[in-house]
Amino acid sequence: MLNKKIIVTKLAIILSMGTTMAQIKDTTALTEVIINQDRLQIPFSKQSKNIQILTQDDLQRLPNRSINELLANIPGVDVRQRGPFGSQADISIDGGSFEQTAILLNGVKITDPQSAHHNMNLPVPLEAIDRIEIIRGPASRIFGINALTGAINIVTKKIESNQISAQVYGGSSFKNNEQTNSGKYYGKGVQLGSQFKTQKTSHGLYFGHEDSNGQRYNTSSKNNKLYYDGTYLPNETNQLKANFGYIDNEFGANGFYASPNDKEAYEQVKTAFASLQSKHQLTPVLSVSPRLSNRYNEDEYWYMGRETAKGRSKHYSNVFSADINTALEQSYGTFGLGLESRFERITSTSIGTHNRENYGGYLEFKTEAINKLMINTGAYINYNSKFGWQVFPGIDLGYDITEHWKLVFNAGSSQRIPSFTDLYTNQTANIGNPDLTSENAYQIEGGIKYFSKRIIVQAGYFHRKINDFIDWQKIASNTGSGTVIPWKPTNIGKNKMEGLNASFRYNINDPSASTRYFTTISYNYLNPNVTIAEGMLSKYAIESLRHQVIVNFTINHKNWMLTTANRFNERISYKSYFIADLRASYQLQDLNIFADIQNIFDKSYIEAAAVPMPGRWFSVGAKYTLKY
């Protein structure tokens, strides 16, 4: 173990001397980005929480094809994919489980109540995304339940001009299917976007399609995405916004859930999402923002293949939400007050029919009345029809040592209620537990930040304790030939986690120079402490990362751009691996041409279940944008 730590330390030092992650094009602009726009208005540079951002420029530079792959470039985020091209992935933050991260679209929770396995089934093509915000630490005070270890907020583009864009791309490993030798493994995609703006309205319509024939037997995938964003501004003090998205995602699920017996498994997931919200500045100091949203999801799974009804299960879930947020500005600070209701329903062949209701409210206060000190404190009160009352208090403190240096401290509590799958599923290999209680956690974190025109540095330490942690377990011993011992979730007790993290971002360029550089490095260390009873197998308790180093570098010379994205992961329950990707692009007026190499060193590795990820992969693409 000591040797591994020495190796990781040396790797971090070597990488810090050269290349790092290109996350920012203009540091000044990034520091002024407003986080949590539905709540109190706090710029990124004034935040006391640990927040990471992927900007629109990052989305264009990084050699990735899906949101899942992009998130793998964020420190503290653990992406565990069950196949490429975004077919399915579990996302966790700072060593939490994939159920403990809240997923949001423009501030609206779209977390799936059936199972967080479907949280990343997002009806938004990359072409529609402006940035991705990652809020690390307990976020229940901000977003309510199921933000136990953090939240990921996907923010779509603000329409500012009339334009049409089209992007096509395709690639291959130039290797045969590993199990059938039926042809070269390939993948391809297309994305279309249209933006239209008038004096009072703006409209964005986006479409995306991707498909792959699969690197192994029964691992082909296909998904289609459609997304609309519309805004109406009748005057300077009022705004009405509507969003709609739909995704049809299907894939061969060989090895996804019950390897080696699910070789013929296949799954199709359809998700529709819609929201209607408005913002009103009632007086110079008082604003209000009401919102309605709905998420509908269909999940159909064929355990023994689509040719037979045996082992087939189908799930329909629907979530309706209504909330209202208000902000009152005073000379000594700003108050935030909000109410939320959430109604969840599932009808399933293996889970049954269930309903539950959730009601929440928050009060928050932000002030800079004390010289050099920002205080942001408040509490979220929640009632769930099955799990009762819960209160999530918290506080964020930021002290300006100098103009550039800031000390930060935050503390808070959070909760994760079990999914319908946790509670009620009834399958051969998985059995739910209706007696589960919710997970409850508290966390404290302290750190230091540095902001300047070209440099952003963050470093910190956190300690988290989860009570009634939920893990899927089963007896390790066999009970007889052919007997299936099912996994079952249980509250196993306390789960403690402490971690260290540091990131350094440097924008090395002169705006008038023909050659510019963008560079960042990040390192995360996690030390979990969880007890597994003797003779029991665990599904999720010991799968977090121990060491994580993320290093990217971009050089931009005139119309040429070269980006290398690199990550080293050491998982507690799995061997370490290093993945390096590369993108070269050329801008020819309105046409951008790019070529990618992913997994340059052809590393064999697994992120989730029994699904080997692809080896070395080559792809090319082009994007054309016409403004009018």
Give a three-class secondary structure readout of 224-268. EEEEEEEEEEEECCEEEEEEEEEEEEEEECCCCCCCCCCCCCEEE
Burial class for 308, CB neighbours closer than 10 Å (0-12, 13-18, 19+): exposed
Range(s) of the domain holding residue 475 = 2-627
Contacts of 481 (CB under 8 A, 6+ apart): none
What mean pLDDT comes out for the span 466-490? 81
Average pLDDT over all residues of the chain:
88
- Reported as type and span, the H/E element at residue 447 is strand 439-451
Residue 486: DSSP 8-state: -
- pLDDT per residue over 102-120, tens digit each? 999 999 999 899 988 888 8
Q: At residue 28, what are phi and psi to the nearest 5 degrees?
A: -60, -45
Separation between Cα atoms, residue 44 and residue 34, nearest integer Å: 6
Is residue 293 helix, strand or coil?
Answer: strand
pLDDT band at 14 (very low <50, low <70, confident <90, very high): very low
Compute the distance between CA of residue 351 and CA of residue 343 in angstroms, rounded to an integer.
18
Q: What is the pLDDT of residue 32?
A: 67
Q: Span 483-502, mean pLDDT?
A: 89
Cβ count within 10 A of residue 181:
8
pLDDT digits (tens, 9 = 90+) for 414-444: 999 999 999 999 887 789 999 999 999 999 9
Check residue 2 and give its pLDDT.
Answer: 40
- End-to-end CA, the chain: 60
- Domain count of the chain? 1
Which amino acid is located at 5 in the chain?
A: K
Residue 47 CB burial class (10 angstroms; 0-12, 13-18, ≥19):
buried
Q: What is the pLDDT of residue 478?
A: 60
- Residue in the structure block whose two tokens are 């249980």: 490
CA distance 560 to 592: 10
Residue with tokens 């010991």, as numbered in its chain: 542
The CATH number of whichever domain residue 597 belongs to comes to 2.40.170.20
Q: What is the mean pLDDT of residues 519-545?
A: 85
**pTM, 2 dp:** 0.90
Reading the block at residue 381, the tokens are 């009160």
Mode of pairing for the β-strands spanning 101-105 and 150-156? parallel
Position 11 pLDDT exceeds 70: no
pLDDT tens digits, 387-416: 999 999 999 999 999 999 999 999 999 999
Q: What CA–CA distances, in Å, run from 399 to 165, 373, 501, 516?
A: 44, 5, 20, 33
Residue 320 has pLDDT above 60, yes or no: yes
